[in-house]
Amino acid sequence: MTHRDDDRVSFAQPQRKNVVQPALLVSLHDVTPAHAARLARAEQLLSALGVSEVAYLYVPDFHGRAPAHRDPAFAAWCRSARPFRVQWFLHGYYHLERREPRGAVSGRRSSAIGHWLARTFLTDGEGEFLSVSGRDLQDRLESGIASLTATTGSAPEGFVPPAWLSNADLIPALERLGVRFTENHFQVVDLRARRAVAAPVITWASRSAGRRTSSRLLAAAERRLWTRHPLVRVALHPGDFDHPHLVDSIARTIDALRANRRVIGYAGWQA
C-alpha cells in the first residue's frame, strides 16, 4: 500500500475528546483546464447526489501544458455558481515530478531510495512535492497561490500535495504562507488550530481495467469498514468519470456514507 509512517503529523497538545456527528469530506482532485470535460461530468454527479460541500483541488499548470491563470474561459468556469459550496485548495503546481539531474538527489541514501520507490511505484511520476524543499518549495507554493488567487478570485483555503506525497518542509512552509488546511494519506490537518485528525480516504484508480475493478471492490469494503469512523474522505479524480462503473461505485459510496454522516467542509470537523 501507499502508506508511509513518516506522513503522519503530530502536535504537542492532546486530542480533544468531543463526540461529533460522523462526517464526510468530498474532494475533486486535478481541477485544471486539461480536464474540463471530465470535471463537467464530475459536477453533474455531485449535483445529482445533492452534495453540499466539495473541495476543488486546483493545479496551476497541469504537466506544464495547461496554465489555468492564462485561460479566461476556465477562470469564468471556476467563478460560476454551483448548487454546492466549493472550497478552493492548491494541489501542486505542475502535478508532475521534474527529474533532477543525475547526482542532484540530496539527503540520506535510504531516503533517496525510498523516494525513488514511492515516485516510481506509487504515483506514476506525479509525486511533485516529494523532493521539492527549502527555497524551491516556498517559491513553488507562492507561484501556485498567486495562480489560484488570480483564477478563482480568492486565496486557497488549503494545500494537498499530488498523490498526498510531501516531505518535512511542507508544514512549516504552509504555516509561513498562512495556508490553513492540508492532508496526507492518514489525516486532515488544521494548521491554524494545530490539530490533526485521522480520516481514512476512499479513492478510485482508473488507469487500467485491473485497477478499476480492484478499486471498486475496495470502495465497497471500505464504505462498510469505516461506518463508525468519525471522519471519512472521498477523493474523486477526473479520470474516474471516463468509466461508468467507477461513477456508479462513487455514487453508491457517497450515498452509503451519507446514511449516517453529513457532508462538511474542512473547517467543519472542529465542531
- CA 56 to CA 145: how far, in whole Å? 14
Q: In this structure, are residues 235 and 246 in contact, taking their beta carbons and an 8 Å threshold?
A: no
Q: Which residues pair with 53 in a beta bridge?
A: 85
Residue 153 burial by CB count (10 A; 0-12/13-18/19+): exposed, middle or buried?
A: exposed
Name which of 30 and 261 has its Cβ closer to Zn ion.
30
CB of 108 to Zn ion, least distance (A): 27
**Residue 233 is a binding residue for Zn ion (CB under 5 A):** no
Q: Does 158 bind Zn ion (CB under 5 A)?
A: no
Looking at the Cβ atoms of 30 and 240, the one nearer to Zn ion is 30
Which of 187/261 has CB closer to Zn ion? 187
Supply the minimum distance, in Å, between the C-beta of residue 30 and Zn ion.
Answer: 4
Distances (CA, A) of 221 to 22, 171, 224, 256: 18, 32, 5, 11
Q: Which range binds Zn ion by CB under 5 A, 113-121, 142-150, 158-166, 260-268?
A: 158-166
Residue 29 touching Zn ion (CB under 5 A)? yes
Taking CB under 5 A as the rule, does residue 162 contact Zn ion? yes
183 binds Zn ion (CB under 5 A): no
Q: How far is the CB of 202 from Zn ion (least distance, A)?
A: 15
Nearer to Zn ion, 92 or 265 (CB): 92
Nearer to Zn ion, 22 or 161 (CB): 161
Nearer to Zn ion, 90 or 145 (CB): 90
In the complex, residue closest to Zn ion by CB? 29
Residue 30 is a binding residue for Zn ion (CB under 5 A): yes
61 near Zn ion (CB under 5 A): no
Nearest distance, CB of residue 63 and Zn ion, angstroms: 11
Smallest separation, CB 126 to Zn ion (Å): 7
The span from the first CA to the last CA of the chain, in angstroms, equals 32
**Minimum Å distance from CB 163 to Zn ion?**
7
Nearer to Zn ion among residue 30 and residue 43 (C-beta): 30
For Zn ion, the binding residues (CB under 5 A) are 29-30, 162
